[in-house]
Amino acid sequence: MITNTPLLLACSLLIACGQAQGTEHRPEGLIYCAEGAPHTFNPQLTNQGTTLDAVSYPLYDRLLELNPITLALEPALATEWSVSEDGLRYRFTLRKGVMFHASPEFVPTRPLNADDVIFSFARVLDPRHPYYHVSGGRYPFFKNLGLDRLIKGVHKRSERVVEFELERPNAAFLADLASANSVILSSEYADKLLLAGTPDRIDKAPVGTGPYRLKEYRDNQFIRYVRHDAYWKGPARTGQLIFDIIPRSAKRLTKLLTGECDVMSYPAASQIGVIQSHPELSLSVQSGMNVAFVALNTRQPPLNDVRVRQALSLAINRDNLLHAVYYDTGEPARSLLPPLSWGFDPAQPPVRRDVAAAKQLLKEAGMAKGFEMRLLAPVGSRSYNPDPLKTAQLIRNDLALIGVKVKIQKLEQSVLDHAIDNGRYDAVLGGWQADNNDPDNFFRQLLGCQAIASGSNMSRWCSPSFEQLLDDAVSTQQLGFRIRNYYYAQKVLAQEVPLIPLAHALQTQASRYDIQGVQMNPLGGTLFNGAYQE
């Protein structure tokens, strides 16, 4: 067990003298201490995990959902679906009587129907749609996966039947519809806002069908959700859900200990021993569909030389990272895909640290004297990396042994996103929390040519042959063929090294001992509609 005696003593003192003070004026309901604030209330507009966690599952539903335990596709807003023999038409029957949220500015007059599904996808796919350019007109999830080029049309067959027509077969399509980004919005609400001249309200004052509706948001402070009593799965057990936005994990733990929050997101790995040993706290741990990596800007010399990229990968001490950053709550990454993925190649060998081989590769690349590079690192913990700054520092120390001088630049997410968009960096310490369980979601989002413009392909590596490999993999429902392609894709990436996989993190979450029914999602986010206090 991991222990931290000074921290445990401090926490015990907080319990002794601060709990009554902390809980005296706390609001009713469940309080979740979250690591960051959302930058939009529409998941269609972002690929940022913090935003998706805070917004997608409390507010919205999708046509399909992935079971959080088995990762199997299950009905959600669609009760059944069928696929044509040629794989080009997907027909969905919508659930009866699903009601959208009511708010001070909107009261729905009808339940969910096919118009809502058509609007939700037309908005992100059709540049001529009146809502396409609202809030900036960037839809990274849909662009990265090429859904704007894949979906030929969305057609209303009846009030409760909608059909997607595809340009070509795509075996990952159903999984994409179950992703956190593929939410269903209200076309009736959109029409009202457009008539009022305030279409951007759809992304700021959201209306969904999820278990909670938005009551109040104070920028970078808190989100207040209240129960959606007409929720189709039945009302949530807790009447109010509050996201208390606390970027520092030490402060989140303090609030958890004093009873000022009930559940804490992403505890630091160094805090796990304290949480496990505390009688009033419980720790949830599960495998996650994630990866932490260093993305190398392959368009920036000398990182455009594959030998230099291979050298950097060989120089990094992954075992040290796992001990010093993850405190053994992760496993070394042998490929981009985590072992939980059905496309993971178990025969892929681990990368063994070899400083001598790294130096030789740099010599062959004409870099025997080394070089300088700038490594961008995000502020705050992530689901795939509990301490990005410490990770960056350890990598800096490793690379110094082969003559590479690393300058670390710690950036807030908005500034980091801007730097990535403009390509002004040598390398980025990043990671990925999968949107669904299909391997295409990792490869295409992180390394597809289309994903460069959205910033999720931070290596800026574009290989037509690799892209064709991915296209071929989704062109068939034959699992064996798909697995073969994904195994080969992992071999290509091990050779080309556009990014350096570091680790796969276990998902951890801490809560008060009397909180029940909180469910972590291995694809990111937390499900609260079954949560309650005993």
**Domain parsing of the chain, residue ranges:** 37-205, 290-507
Residue 21 has pLDDT above 90, yes or no: no
pTM over 0.85: yes
pLDDT-derived band of residue 25, with 50, 70 and 90 as boundaries?
A: low
Q: Which residues contact 423 (CB under 8 A, 6 or more apart)?
A: 297, 299, 300, 460
Over residues 161-183, the pLDDT tens digits come to: 999 999 999 999 999 999 999 99
pLDDT tier at 16, thresholds 50, 70, 90: very low
CATH fold group of domain 37-205 = Dipeptide-binding Protein; domain 1 (3.90.76)
pLDDT tens profile 384-398: 998 999 999 999 999
pLDDT tens string 462-508: 999 999 999 999 999 999 999 999 999 999 999 999 999 999 999 88
**What share of the chain in percent tops pLDDT 90?**
83
Please calculate the CA angle 203-207-212 and round it to the nearest 5 degrees: 115
Residues 224, 236: Cα–Cα separation, whole Å: 15
Q: At what angle do helices 306-315 and 355-364 cross, to 10 degrees?
A: 160
- Any idea which of 76-80, 173-177, 208-212, 330-334 has the lowest mean pLDDT? 330-334
Determine contact, residues 295/428, Cβ cutoff 8 Å.
Answer: yes
Best CA proximity match to 329, nearest among 249, 251, 383: 383
Q: Write down the pLDDT at residue 26.
A: 67
Mean pLDDT of the chain: 92
CATH number of 290-507: 3.10.105.10
Task: Specify the pLDDT at position 521.
Answer: 87
Beta bridge partners of 284: 509
Predicted confidence (pLDDT) per residue in 445-454, tens digit: 999 999 999 8
**How much of the chain is in helix, strand and coil states, percent to nearest 5?**
35, 25, 40
